[in-house]
Structure 1
Amino acid sequence: MIVMLMVVVLVIVMLMMVIVVVMVVVMVEAMLIMMVVVTVVVMVVMIVIVLIVVEVVIVVEVVMIVVEVVMKMLVWWWLWW
């Protein structure tokens, strides 16, 4: 009887240990997946922000160049007349 009880207790303890280990592993995996997802989202957001900034800078440069050319044309035209 005592041996049977000890075996049952051991089995229960082992099962509990296995459940705890599985829970810890699942928690760690969930945390890792969350970290990966957050990292990917942050990277995508950073890339989008960089692209938007680059686009704005390019547009501003083009506008500046166009304004400069137009001003020069106007000045030349004015001088010509």
Structure 2
Amino acid sequence: MDIRLLPSLLRFMLVDNGNIESPVLLNGWNSYWLMEESVRGASKYGVSDMLKKGAEMGMTVCKTWAFRDGARPNDLQWWWW
């Protein structure tokens, strides 16, 4: 089984051997601060705590943004809007 975005239906569907089984419902939240917290000593555990809390609430998706821009551990980029 896999999950596919079917453009004709404009939704994600669970597909088994080419047969559409059921829609995939996404339930989640935005936490753009996770990347910055992940590199701060003791506060990096806040990332795990946030993901655990989301899972406890039945959330299945957390949207965040992070990318590495160098070889050192703290070479991360982040943006404020």
TM-score (norm 2): 0.22
| Greater share of residues in helix | 1
Higher relative contact order (CA 8 A, sep 6+): 2
| Greater share of residues in strand | 2
Q: Give the greater-gyration-radius structure (CA).
A: 1
TM-score (norm 1): 0.22
